[in-house]
Amino acid sequence: MRKVIAGLAVSLLLFALSFASEAQQPEKIRWIGYFTGSGSLPNQAFVQALRDLGYVEGKNIGFVFRSAEGQSERYDGLAAELVRMKVDIIVADFTSPALAAKKATSRIPIVMTNGTDPIGTGLITSLAQPGGNVSGLTNISGELGGKGLQLLTEIVPKLNRVAILSTTGGVADDVFVKETEVPGRALGVQLVRVRIQGPDDLEDAFRAMTKERANGLFVRLLTFIPFKRVADLTMKNRLPSIAQQHPWTDAGGLMSYGADPGLIYRRAATYVDKILKGPKPADLPVEAPTKFELRINLKTAKQLDLTIPQSVLARADRVIK
């Protein structure tokens, strides 16, 4: 009888040790390939949102960061590299990285943060049913472009030629210009496209605007060029300006109109969370922003000898005085 009891005690002890060992097993790390056109780190609002959802770097997630550093010819190679590394999910920051990632894999889930016309560019089949390995967030570039032009014309009634400053090689920029041309014609505004490859091209770009007789400026994504430098040149050339990114007004630009980028990245984190827990991108509807903010820099308006109509000021969410 004692032998039976002793054997049972040993069995229970081994079971307890086995259970404790299993309980102490570390969580599996899920690898996120963060793929962007420029920058040196994943967006911090995105990272914080993942932390709020219970993800801890080094414990249950890890990041593999890849940046094209403003060189569009690097997109395909970097996307292929992430696929070879067998990451669990790719977060594609903006349209060109998303297109390169989709070209590189049909297996690894892809979450886009700011897809411009994802249906037209072939990233998804529809917003409600993406139908492939891509889902996430889209922007409304054509509507934003038209709204930006309208705001500029309300402040500068004689506005008729607006330069669109952007970097070269971006699919999103091509779509933006095409979609903004329609409201531009309705407003009597002709668009003048000015492209740059890097900071060294800025002086020539503004000379080109002068040559083209532009009397307004729409600043597109210039993620690897400081807004302050562009804003200084805008002021030097006395161009009323607008951008979709709110840091533009903080840097000295006249106006910004766009969605809260922090909210976009926080929502992108929820897509990552859902996909890592099982649902496929094909079954997750793509979201478009529903809230937009208008910011106005009155200091800049004063330096440009512009009077902001009360009707425009009344719509502003933030005014820099």
pLDDT digits (tens, 9 = 90+) for 257-268: 998 888 899 999
Note the pTM of the prediction, 2 decimals: 0.80
Please name the residues in contact with 126: beta carbons below 8 A apart, sequence gap of 6 or more: 119
- Domains observed in the chain: 30-139+261-283 (3.40.50.2300), 141-259+292-320 (3.40.50.2300)
Alpha-carbon distance of 136 to 115, in angstroms, equals 8
Work out the angle between the directed axes of helices 171-186 and 95-104 (0-180°, nearest 10). Answer: 140
What percentage of the chain has pLDDT greater than the value 90?
Answer: 69
Alpha-carbon distance of 37 to 221, in angstroms, equals 11
User: Binning pLDDT at 50, 70 and 90, where does residue 14 land?
Assistant: very low
Q: Above 60 in pLDDT, residue 11?
A: no
pLDDT value at residue 169: 59
Chain segment 99-145, per-residue pLDDT in tens: 999 999 999 999 999 888 899 889 999 999 999 999 999 987 768 89
pLDDT value at residue 170: 66
Chain segment 62-105, per-residue pLDDT in tens: 999 999 887 888 999 999 999 999 999 999 998 889 999 999 99
> Which residue reads 């976009």 in tokens?
264
Helices (H), 187-283: 202-211, 227-236, 247-250, 261-276
